[in-house]
Amino acid sequence: MKLILLGAPGSGKGTQAAYISDKYDLPHISTGDLFRENIKNETPLGKKIKSVMSTGQLCPDDLTVELVKDRLEEADCKSGYLLDGFPRDIPQAVALDEFASPDVVIEIKVDLAKVEHRITGRRSCLSCGGSFHVDFIGNVSKCPKCGDELVIRKDDNPITVKERLEVYENQTAPLIDYYKKQGKLVVINGDQSIENVFSDIVKVLG
Ligand code: ADP
Ligand code: ADP
Ligand code: ZN
């Protein structure tokens, strides 16, 4: 099963990906997590993308496609993958179609007016990729999943959120039509509880 999660920043892709990856035994590949890991480890790639990522703009397509291509060639992706945050524009989707075209694309659709609250209250774990919200876990400093440090992402502030939503509408949202035309798009209502969003996804995937 080759799966893509599509949706605005804060729509719940990372949250749902963790559940899907567990249930269907698929490697969860988040380009955002991969980029953050590279920044944390101060790799050459990390140095190249650090400043653009903090503005909320997209990292260059060639670097991003290469990163995903290399990751999908690893052994754990032989029987499928779960991509979260990739592709994020038409050129990336066209590139992906050339090496590992998806079977199903799940769009998590949310009211864009509500995502700022979700993003500014997000607490992220850089170790396990966990994503939480202060509304649910309170103002704790340790990851409920793995016990490591929780952080507020540098780009999770109201100004950058605005920028990221614009990038989403201009560059990423056209993918909805792209995959609709391929007959691969499934739309899920993301404005419900985490459990209900997941159960709707399971109904689709079986
Ligand atoms: P994305 O990966 O799409 O940016 P996340 O999964 O990180 O989104 O979720 C963004 C924030 O919203 C997190 O703080 C998360 O805990 C919270 N969240 C995710 N799904 C829901 C939901 N269905 N209802 C309320 N809050 C949610
Ligand atoms: P969110 O969960 O809020 O949607 P991500 O963690 O997916 O955020 O992405 C954070 C940032 O990483 C993006 O704003 C962008 O700068 C960069 N990024 C992630 N995925 C991609 C991609 N496929 N193409 C280009 N840039 C990306
Ligand atoms: Zn963790």
pLDDT, tens digit, 9 for 90 and up, residues 156-176: 999 999 999 999 999 999 999
pLDDT, tens digit, 9 for 90 and up, residues 87-138: 999 999 999 999 999 999 999 999 999 999 999 999 999 899 999 999 999 9
Cα(89) to centroid(ligand 1), Å: 21
Cα(149) to centroid(ligand 3), Å: 7
Please tell me the pTM assigned to this model.
0.97
**Rounded mean pLDDT of 32-52?**
97
Q: Is the CB–ligand 1 distance for residue 164 below 6 Å? A: no
Three-state SS annotation for the chain: CEEEEECCCCCCHHHHHHHHHHHHCCCEEEHHHHHHHHHHCCCHHHHHHHHHHHHCCCCCHHHHHHHHHHHHCCHHHCCCEEEECCCCCHHHHHHHHHHCCCCEEEEEECCHHHHHHHHHCEEEECCCCCEEEHHHHCCCCECCCCCCEEECCCCCCHHHHHHHHHHHHHHHCHHHHHHHHCCCEEEEECCCCHHHHHHHHHHHHC
Nearest listed ligand to the Cα of residue 39: 2
pLDDT, tens digit, 9 for 90 and up, residues 64-77: 999 999 999 999 99
Please tell me which residue in 13, 36, 118, 123 is annotated as part of the active site.
13
